[in-house]
Amino acid sequence: MIYDFLLHWFYQPLFNFLIGIYSLANFIYPDISIGTVVIIFTILFRIVILPLSWKNDYSEVERREIAEKIAKLETEHKEDPETIKRFKKTILWQHKRLVFFEFVNLTLQVSIAAFLFKFFSTGVTGQDNYLVYKIIKAPEHINTYFFGIDLNHPNMQLNLLNSSIIFLVELLSLWNQPFPVTRRDLSTLIFLPIIAFIFFGRMPAGKKLFVITTLIFTIFIILVKRLLYFYHKIKAVVNNKTQKETSESPVDNEGEKDDKVMVENIKEEK
């Protein structure tokens, strides 16, 4: 029952959306690769959830605060699990908006990953064509080759590229974060790409293409944020300099001279 619900209310709409994009792209450019369509689909998906991702990225300070509070709590009450459990709930409730955004963002990412896994397992082979809506024409054939890589099967080159970009994203995140780099950050930087290489090793290459496109989009967002940071920093310096020059301008001195002239004129009239 749960499978049928997810199939018809989650997988089927996304499947038709992807097939619709492929049919349109295939009409414009015959025998286009499904890899190109996955890239377009991923970019559209990331644009839709961009406000959520932007909010999530700017909540790093709050996440650190939660982690520090919980770590301190576990140290001070390590012999009282009930107190730790109760205070954890209180801390999470105090930051309920952040927890909600984290949950929604993670759910969306996992859901799309699960969708693409099924799509490259049964969708591209035509087994799911019975789910295509009547207003959409199911393609007779889907080109699964992308620059010579069969996206239906695992690919070592894409897997290596995927792990390399994960390393680059983590490195840029450390460069962009407002905190000193910790040992835990360095461990994540080293071990996350290795874990990802093992985890994605046996998955279809099409799934990796989605992850790679997502990571490249993330790099773009990080760089934009960094440019905005430098822009606001330079703007603040210029504004401070302008205010300083204004406060030191000779306007006040000229006012004092005018006052002295006025006093002298009054004396002469007397």
Q: What is the pLDDT of residues 177-204, one digit of tens each?
A: 766 777 888 898 899 999 999 998 888 8
pLDDT confidence band for 263 (50 / 70 / 90): very low
Choice among 10-19, 87-96, 255-264 with the minimum mean pLDDT: 255-264
- What is the reported pLDDT for 82? 80
- Residue 89's pLDDT is 79
> Closest Cα partner for 217 from 263, 172, 184?
172
Residue 38 makes CB contacts below 8 A (sequence gap 6+) with: 18, 116, 151, 206, 209, 210, 213
133 vs 56: which has the higher pLDDT: 133
- Residue with structure tokens 């070592």? 156
Average of per-residue pLDDT across 34-45: 93
Asked if 242 and 234 count as a contact pair (C-beta separation under 8 A), the reply is no
pLDDT at 17 over 90: yes
Structure tokens at 151: 């996206």
What are the contacts of 190-198 at 24+ separation with CB within 8 A? 192/166, 192/167, 193/163, 193/164, 193/166, 193/167, 194/163, 196/162, 196/163, 196/166, 197/159, 197/160, 197/162, 197/163
For residue 269 the two structure tokens come to: 């009239």
Percent of the chain with pLDDT over 70: 84
Q: What is the mean pLDDT of residues 50-77?
A: 70
Neighbours of 121 (CB within 10 A): 16
pLDDT for residue 246:
74
What's at 208, amino acid-wise? K
pLDDT at residue 58 in the model? 54
Least confident of 4-13, 78-87, 113-122, 231-240: 78-87
Average pLDDT score over the chain: 82
Least confident piece of the model among 47-51, 77-81, 122-126, 208-212: 77-81
pLDDT at 55 over 70: no
